[in-house]
A and B are shown apart, each in its own frame.
Chain A
Amino acid sequence: MKTRIKELRAKYDLTQEELALKVGVRRETIVFLEKGKYNPSLKLAYDISMVLKSRIEDVFVFEDD
């Protein structure tokens, strides 16, 4: 899974820590999400999309393996 979190974070001038605080997770979790090493729950994906003012499918890009 690829994410556009880093790109959208930069767009809204948010640090990893600020995003983590807004969605109630650890900064490490944001790091793993950006690296595509962690698959979030639907709720977390929704919360992140809300903070980044985007649709879930625009933030998280699922690829067929």
Chain B
Amino acid sequence: MRTIKKVSDMKTRIDKKSLLFMGIDLSIILLGVVILLSQTGSKTIFFLSVCLILAGLIFFVLALQVLTKPETERVVDERVTGINEKAGYHAFWITLVSVTILFWADRIQSLGIDVMEIYYATIFAGVCSWSILRWYYNRKGDVK
């Protein structure tokens, strides 16, 4: 008889790599706390320590999420590689086109866009398009 696995039966995978990753996360949080406790009233150091703690916490939660996934959901197989490649290729062109549009819109209309704004827009367009395309191609199944 075939048995259906319950969610509570799923085991978290503990290997050297995951332990190392979680150790680094905890060290980052600890470093942030030490800097926060020993701060000298400087706003920059306070900001840095808060950033370190937040980054450490986010990575720790992400690591836990990855560890609780079944092993077959973490494998990067030929289909996933193909999806990543195609999504990356299209995201690159979307980013390039969006930067070009911003550049020429600024040139023609004098929008007064500075470099930092273009930088943020580029990152936003790149990350968003890559994530959306990956989700879409994954739903589709095949990208060939």
A and B bind: yes
Contact with B along A19-39 (1 / 0, CB 8 A): 011001111110010010111
A18 to chain B, nearest CB (A): 9
Question: What's the interface size class on A, roughly?
Answer: 10 to 19
A44 at interface (Cβ–Cβ under 8 A)? Answer: yes
Task: Indicate whether A41 sits within 8 Å of B78 (C-beta atoms), given known contacts A13-B2, A15-B2, A35-B141.
Answer: yes
Contact between B141 and A26 (Cβ–Cβ < 8 Å)?
A: no
Chain A residues lying within 8 Å of B142, measured Cβ to Cβ, are 32, 37-39
Give A2-24 interface residues, CB cut-off 8 Å to B.
13, 15, 17, 20-21, 24
Contact between B79 and A25 (Cβ–Cβ < 8 Å)?
A: yes
A17 vs B5: C-alpha distance when bound (angstroms): 11
A30 vs B72: C-alpha distance when bound (angstroms): 10
Contact with A along B70-92 (1 / 0, CB 8 A): 11110101111000000000000
Question: What's the interface size class on B, roughly?
Answer: 10 to 19
B98 at interface (Cβ–Cβ under 8 A)? Answer: no
Of the candidates B2, B72, B140, B144, the one whose C-beta lies within 8 Å of that of A26 is B72
Contact between B72 and A40 (Cβ–Cβ < 8 Å)?
A: no
Selected A-B contacts with CB under 8 Å, 12 pairs = A21-B72, A25-B78, A26-B72, A26-B80, A28-B138, A29-B78, A29-B80, A32-B79, A32-B141, A32-B142, A37-B140, A38-B141
Contact surface of B with A, Cβ cutoff 8 Å:
2, 70-73, 75, 77-80, 138, 140-142, 144
Contact surface of A with B, Cβ cutoff 8 Å:
13, 15, 17, 20-21, 24-29, 32, 35, 37-41, 44
